[in-house]
Chains A and B, each alone.
Chain A
Amino acid sequence: MIAILLIPLVTAALCYALRSAKTLGYISFLGTVVLAAVAVPKVLASFSAPAEAMKGVLYMDSVSGYIMAMVIFLGLASALYSIGYLEHELKVGLTDLTGMRRYYALLHIFIFTMLLVTTANNLALMWIAVEATTIVSAVLIGFGFRKRAMAIEAAWKYIILCSVGITFALLGTFITYYASTAVMGTEGALNWTALKNIAGELNPSTMKLAFIFVLVGYGTKAGLAPIHNWLPDAHSEAPSPISALLSGILLNTAFYGIMRFVSIVEPSTGDVFTGNLLILFGLISIGISSVFILVQDNYKRLLAYSSIEHMGIISLGVGIGGPLGIYGALLHILNHALSKPLMFFASGKIQARYGSTRIENVSGVLSSMPLLGTLTFIGTLSLAGTPPFNIFISEFTILKAGVDKGLWPAVALFLLFAVVVFYGILAGFGRMLFEGAEKLKKAAPEDKGEAVAKVLDFPDMLGSGIMIVMAFCIIALGVSIPDFIDHAIRNCVAVLGVR
């Protein structure tokens, strides 16, 4: 487990030390491959039995393993995609060698901090790791900040809002510590392994207060409305591979913190208290984001609002609770972690090609870039929640859990917002994909030649390759859930202690 944490750090150091723009990307990719090779056996082992390291400071059970697998997969995808992305940035003069070295080093430190979140046993250590993700990713958002004023603005908003939010999460953690020391003394009083055994004996009113602070704190980081304002800015201004990581997995690691707390708080306060709060925050997030998706004219911001919507759905699933609700939420985390990065990768290529992030400036993607267009189309359908794609399955599961529990108002609102989002996403991306194909055909021929040359570019092909893999996963998960994933999620549900 220590090796898993060390590999990204070593890779980061290597990337910073290297002085060749050509090999830098490949070394960084190699680092993530080694990381995956070391981590996969550990992750698989964690699904059957939890593991400890460093005298119980690090701890890995199926929930950690589940989230960690996503961190590692997306880290790998993003490192692969970054090669082509940065080469393009270098060509058009948006970055230089120093910038690239910094970028790759920070990328791997970012992966390290997220891995630390998933393996921390101590809740305060988890807090430290979450705060560290904020700091590192803020610098990554401001990457190339000498050129773009917007990126600085986004990074500033991001770090200020998230730091304030997360301060409250620390207060919540302190209060939890206070409650647990009253029961078991100070030794290991913030360890998840110890807390889950004594969760029923904790003082309910103290834990209620703690949970509210934690929900506000980590909720800010997870992009739950109404403190989501940083998210569209940060996601739209970050470099595309970073947007993919932010949206696909960073939000989930923050939500992972909330899930851990839910399973500690629930036994003493009852599941109505936590459930109602999560359903409320979830519905507000879905509602607010659906409106913004409808009126959005910038496709990267549209994707960012879609992230808020999906975090809302996950929160709704955990809030509804019961084995089915949690199962749906965990499945949704995985599905969202596949679909959204695919879309951010695609939007990065569209941005590079059209030089704009406004929907009205982009048209005929499907006819000018058939492969990319198809991938974008698959991602769009998936994000909108169309059957037979993966997100439909998990949304349906959550819906079913809600109906089973008889939470009709929540179910009705969710369906209403889902319809709005469906229209908003399809309208936005449909325009970009299908419209104005004729206009493009009349355009200058050398423009087309450039596009062809680009497709044959090797680093670009790597990026397309990983996108094809992700699109395949999206379709495969929509058709049926493989046994090992089903098994993993069932274990996670059991670990989170759902009665």
Chain B
Amino acid sequence: MKNWIEAFSVIDFISVGILLTAVAMNAFRRLESCVRTYTVNSWLLSSLIAIVAFMIGETHLYIAAALTLVTKGILLPVFLRRIVKQMKVTHDVEPYINNALSLTISGILVAVVYASLSVGIFVSGFSKNVLQISIAVILIGLFIMITRRKAITQVIGLLFMENGLFLAGFSLTFGMPTIIELGVLFDMLMGVIILGIFAIQIKRVFTSSDLDKLTILKG
């Protein structure tokens, strides 16, 4: 099994999958597709952790994988889907820039990350691509946050950033101690729930889920 994983470089495949799902976010028009993409991304992240756990035989990484799966892979997507339904928004993402341009920019972001980290101050743990990919995912998440109009897409962008962050932390150090990871995940879960509540409030008070309307406070 271990030989098989190494021979087919499964770890690299999965991490590329994580990158591709992040890039694909730029192309989707419907909010439901975005949530689904995030789900796939989280499942890939979780399975990556599980495979590495199998390769190096660390029990605490299995726990980390399970935690990631439950929170990011199941709870958050279910919650996000409910929010999308409750908001009854037109289900389009409505980005500020068109999809082709935003795909191009994400591509450039990935290239920039690879170029700037190629000299490398890090000796990475199990695959030399994972750190670059994780930083790229963080940047793409940030990019999604600033170019989308809907409140809920900002939340999804933030979640992508955090997935990238987990991947980065994981590639650097084989994960934090379990209790810390539990705390971080709990914080994130609470944060997203609060953001979801606020998103519904924005919809109710501003009668729109567009963040363009949030311009009362200035200077």
Which residues in A have some Cβ–Cβ distance to B below 8 Å? 122, 124-125, 127-128, 131-132, 134-135, 138-139, 142, 145-146, 149-150, 152-157, 159-160, 163-164, 167, 170-171, 174-175, 177-178, 181, 186, 190, 205-206, 209, 232-233, 236-237, 292, 295-296, 301
In angstroms, Cα B173 to Cα A186, docked, is: 9
Asked, given contacts A124-B180, A128-B184, whether A135 binds B173 with beta carbons under 8 Å apart, the answer is no
| Shortest Cβ distance from residue A307 to the other chain B in the assembled complex, whole angstroms | 15
Q: Does B162 contact A (CB under 8 A)?
A: yes
Q: Is the CB of A174 within 8 A of B172?
A: yes
Residues of chain A within 8 A of B214, CB atoms compared: 153, 156-157
For B172, the closest partner residue in chain A by CB is A178
CB-based nearest A residue for B214: A153
CB <8 Å contact, A152 and B184: no
CB B41 to nearest CB in A, in angstroms, measures: 16
Q: Summarize A's interface: helix, strand, loop or mixed.
A: helix
In the complex the two chains form, is B198's CB within 8 Å of A142's CB? yes
What is the 8 Å Cβ interface bit string for chain B, positions 148-174, against chain A (1 contact, 0 not)?
000100100010011001001100110
Q: Which of B2-10, B27-35, B85-93, B189-197 sits within the interface?
A: B189-197
Contact at A156–B198, with CB atoms within 8 Å?
Answer: yes
Q: Is A170 a contact partner of B184 (Cβ separation < 8 A)? A: yes
With both chains docked as a complex, state the minimum distance between the C-beta of B215 and any C-beta of chain A, in angstroms: 8
B176 touches A124 (CB 8 A): yes
Looking at the assembled complex, report how far the CB atom of A287 sits from the nearest CB atom of chain B, in whole angstroms: 16
Q: Are B121 and A206 in contact (CB under 8 A)?
A: yes
Contacts A131-B187, A131-B191, A206-B121: A177 and B172 contacting too (C-beta < 8 A)? Answer: yes
Q: Which residues of A contact B217 (CB under 8 A)?
A: 150, 153-154, 157, 232-233, 236-237
Q: Which of B178-214 contact A (CB under 8 A)?
A: 180, 183-184, 186-187, 190-191, 194-195, 198, 201-202, 205-206, 211, 214
Asked whether any CB of chain A lies closer than 8 Å to the CB of B1, the reply is no
A155 to B165, CA, bound (A): 24
10 CB-based A-B contacts, threshold 8 Å: A124-B176, A152-B201, A153-B216, A156-B214, A159-B195, A160-B145, A160-B195, A164-B145, A178-B172, A237-B217
Query: What residues of A have a CB within 8 angstroms of the CB of B96 in the complex?
Result: none
- Count how many chain B residues have C-beta atoms less than 8 Å from C-beta atoms of the other chain: 36
Verify A159–B184 contact, CB threshold 8 A: no
Q: Is the CB of A139 within 8 A of B194?
A: yes
Question: Shortest distance in angstroms between A302's beta carbon and chain B's nearest beta carbon?
Answer: 11
Given the known interface contacts A170-B165, A171-B165, the answer about A125 and B180 at a Cβ–Cβ threshold of 8 Å is yes
A156-B214, A177-B173 known; A296 vs B195 contact (CB < 8 Å): no
Main secondary structure of the interface of B (DSSP, over half): helix
Task: Provide the residues of chain A in CB contact with B184, threshold 8 Å.
Answer: 124, 127-128, 131, 170
| Residue ranges of B at the interface with A (Cβ–Cβ < 8 Å) | 121-122, 138, 142, 145, 151, 154, 158, 161-162, 165, 168-169, 172-173, 176-177, 180, 183-184, 186-187, 190-191, 194-195, 198, 201-202, 205-206, 211, 214, 216-217, 219
Give chain B residues whose Cβ lies under 8 Å from the Cβ of A150. Answer: 216-217
Q: Which residue in chain B gives the minimum CB-CB distance to A295?
A: B219
When distances are taken between beta carbons in the complex, the residues of chain A under 8 Å from B145 are 160, 164
The verdict on A149 contacting B176 (CB below 8 Å), with A135-B191, A163-B191 known, is no
Among candidates A135, A149, A170, A174, residue contacting B194 with C-beta atoms closer than 8 Å: A135
- The residue on B at minimum CB distance from A203 is B121
Which A residue's beta carbon lies closest to that of B191? A135
Task: Assess whether B154 is in contact with A209, with CB atoms less than 8 Å apart.
Answer: no
Which B residues are CB-close (under 8 A) to A163? 158, 191
Assess whether B183 is in contact with A125, with CB atoms less than 8 Å apart: yes
The closest CB in chain B to the CB of A189 belongs to: B173
B158 and A170: CB pair below 8 A? no
Give CA–CA (A170, B211) in the complex, Å: 27
Taken together as a complex, chains A and B put the C-alpha atoms of A163 and B142 apart, in Å, by 11
Point out the residues of chain A lying under 8 angstroms from B198, CB to CB. Answer: 138, 142, 145, 152, 155-156, 159
Residue among B165, B172, B180, B205 making CB contact with A122, cutoff 8 Å: B180
Complex Cα spacing A157 to B218, Å: 12
With a cutoff of 8 Å between Cβ atoms, the chain B residues found around residue A174 in the complex are 165, 168-169, 172-173, 176
A134 to B187, CA, bound (A): 10
Q: In the assembled complex, which residues on chain B have CB atoms less than 8 Å from the CB atom of A190?
A: 176, 180
CB neighbours (8 Å) of B162 from chain A are 167
Q: How far is the CA of A170 from the CA of B166 in the complex (A)?
A: 9
| Distance to closest chain A CB from B195 (angstroms) | 6
How far apart sit A360 and B186, CA to CA, in the bound complex (Å)?
45
Contact at B158–A132, with CB atoms within 8 Å?
A: no
- Lowest 6 A-B CB distances belong to which pairs? A174-B169, A128-B183, A178-B172, A124-B180, A233-B217, A153-B214
